[in-house]
Amino acid sequence: MNVSRTLVDRNVRGPLTCCAGTDTRAVPDDLQVLTQRLTQAAGSRQAVAATTVAHLAHPVDVVDAQLPVQRLELVLRSVHVASVAVRDPDDPDRVGLVTRARFTAAMSGRLGFGRAVMARKLTGELADWAPMVVDHDEPVAQVAVRAMERGDERRYDDVLVAGQQWQAAGMADLVRSLSVQLAARSLRDPLTGLASRSMLQHELARRCAAAAGTRARIAVVLLDVRGMAELNQAAGSAAGDAVLAALGARLAQCAPTGVDVARTGETSSRRWPPCP
């Protein structure tokens, strides 16, 4: 007989999900050390979830503001170049941006004479000297939201990323990454990385449908951890979070093949696979 189980843990402020016999009560003097060790154990999973704009950025060509627009056209001739950064020789801290869309519009001109007029100008006259500039370690979600809040004229421009060398992040990449993060957040508990309640319900419904008309049975096991209330009161919610995160990582590692582990976000935790 195949047996199915799923594990889901609870809120930080209540009892916690865990394997049978686990007790989180500890000697007060050891709570700080316990919190540090548990945070380190769960840190790798949480670090992966926190994507920064550096993961999306790519090197961008930097040209001098004194470069003739006619020569800038050679740089933008490649279809792989969506924008270039512009350096002001008189002010090292000042940076501008020329996007392909801005360049094409300027070269076309209102009456089609843009190329004849702009070819004699300098890149600095064409550049946007107030582009959006962010640090390389800023979260993608924050950067994407700020970028979408820009006015219509700049909303789809690349975002410049400051660092040892200038980089740029495309608006399409930012929005796509934000969408993926939001989708993942709805399916995964942000603290433990385990499946969320909605994902648990979806998987449980799928397993029940697959088992209909057969001798297979679905088992849901609720797990609880003793001493969570005392731990939160003695060491604070950060310690409780560390325990939950480390416990979730441990349960996910030791769960047999075919077993799902999830956190409902309620005061109970569950676990399951398809079982005969």
In total, the chain counts a number of residues equal to 276
CA angle 73-125-67, nearest 5°?
A: 45
pLDDT for residue 1 is more than 90: no
Q: What amino acid is encoded at 41 in this protein?
A: A
pTM: 0.59
Task: Tell me the mean pLDDT in the region 98-125.
Answer: 80
Please answer whether residues 1 and 257 qualify as being in contact, where contact means their C-beta atoms are separated by less than 8 angstroms: no
Question: pLDDT-derived band of residue 226, with 50, 70 and 90 as boundaries?
Answer: confident
Query: d(Cα 50, Cα 142) in Å, to the nearest integer?
Result: 11
User: What is the residue extent of each domain of the chain?
Assistant: 6-50+184-275, 57-169
| Winning range, highest mean pLDDT, from 30-44, 160-174, 182-196, 226-240 | 160-174
Of the ranges 49-58, 66-75, 121-130, which one carries the lowest mean pLDDT score?
49-58
Share of residues in the chain with pLDDT > 70 (%): 75
| Model pLDDT for residues 26-41, shown as the tens digit of each residue | 434 455 555 555 555 5
Extract the tokens encoding 39: 């945070």
| Model pLDDT for residues 77-94, shown as the tens digit of each residue | 888 899 999 999 999 889
Beta bridge partners of 97: 85, 128
pLDDT for residue 18 is more than 80: no
Please answer whether residues 160 and 60 qualify as being in contact, where contact means their C-beta atoms are separated by less than 8 angstroms: yes
pLDDT for residue 153 is more than 70: yes
According to DSSP H, which parts of the chain are helical?
31-49, 69-75, 100-108, 114-118, 123-126, 140-148, 171-187, 197-211, 228-235, 237-254
**CATH architecture entry for 57-169:** Roll (3.10)
Task: Tell me the mean pLDDT in the region 235-239.
Answer: 87
If you ran DSSP here, which 8-state letter would residue 158 be given?
A: P
pLDDT for residue 172 is more than 60: yes
Q: What percentage of the chain's residues is helix, strand, coil (to nearest 5)?
A: 40, 20, 35
| Winning range, highest mean pLDDT, from 5-19, 80-94, 196-210 | 80-94
- How many alpha carbons fall within 13 Å on the CB side of residue 172? 1
Extract the tokens encoding 186: 């709805």
Question: pLDDT-derived band of residue 156, with 50, 70 and 90 as boundaries?
Answer: very high
Mean pLDDT over all residues of the chain?
Answer: 78
Residue 222 neighbours by CB distance under 10 Å: 16
pLDDT the model gives residue 60: 94
Question: pLDDT-derived band of residue 218, with 50, 70 and 90 as boundaries?
Answer: confident
Question: pLDDT-derived band of residue 151, with 50, 70 and 90 as boundaries?
Answer: very high
Of the ranges 20-24, 52-56, 149-153, which one carries the lowest mean pLDDT score?
20-24
Q: Which residue has the tokens 């433990």?
A: 192
pLDDT the model gives residue 44: 45
pLDDT the model gives residue 34: 52
Domain 6-50+184-275, CATH number (from 3.30.70.270, 1.20.1440.130, 3.40.50.720, 2.60.40.10): 3.30.70.270
pLDDT for residue 269 is more than 80: no
